[in-house]
Amino acid sequence: MNTQHLDHNLLTYAEEWGLLFERWGLPRTAGRIWGWLHVCDPSDQTAGQLVDALQVSKGSVSTNTRLLENLGLVERVGVPGARQSHYRVRADAFEGIMRQRIVAVAQARALAERGLGVLESAGAERKHRLTAKRDFYAFLEREMEELLRHWQGRREEGTLVD
């Protein structure tokens, strides 16, 4: 495969992440950066390299790398001999995403429980929707925690791919 075709495929891949992030309610450029950092060579990139590769503004790269850092997906690293910061995918990014989702589910469960407290004297029929919601989120929270533990065990064993 020639280099130009490879570059086009890599950029298309990054763009697909951008579209997915957009569907998730996040900036498209953040998704493009996330996708690019998974396939670029070298694996860490300066803001300038991201600007050049993705054809976006310095301001957009700055804003979106900061967002990705805050989400725990990307980290800023120093490279010996380089004056600029470099960005790369965090090694624990996927576990971090799962932990954030578990926290969000726990918050939803707690809010449903609070709602049940507000409806303490109401009839069972009126409480049913919140009971079902609380039970669903409690189930999801337990299962996600178990799934994360299972993932971590597989990672430690080195058996991630079946």
- Among 89, 109, 135, the domain boundary falls at 89
Same domain, 29 and 55: yes
The pTM of the full predicted model, rounded to 2 decimals, is 0.79
User: What are residue 88's phi and psi, to 5 degrees?
Assistant: -150, 165
Residue 101, domain CATH: 1.10.287.160
CB-CB contact of 73 with 66 (8 Å): no
Same domain, 84 and 152: no
d(CA 56, CA 32): 10
Q: Which domain holds residue 10?
A: 3-89
What pLDDT, in 10s, does the model give residues 93-135? 989 889 999 999 999 999 999 999 999 888 888 899 999 999 9
Residue 12, domain CATH: 1.10.10.10
d(CA 89, CA 4): 24
d(CA 154, CA 98): 15
What pLDDT, in 10s, does the model give residues 61-91? 999 999 999 999 999 998 888 889 999 999 8
Same domain, 109 and 146: yes
d(CA 25, CA 63): 16
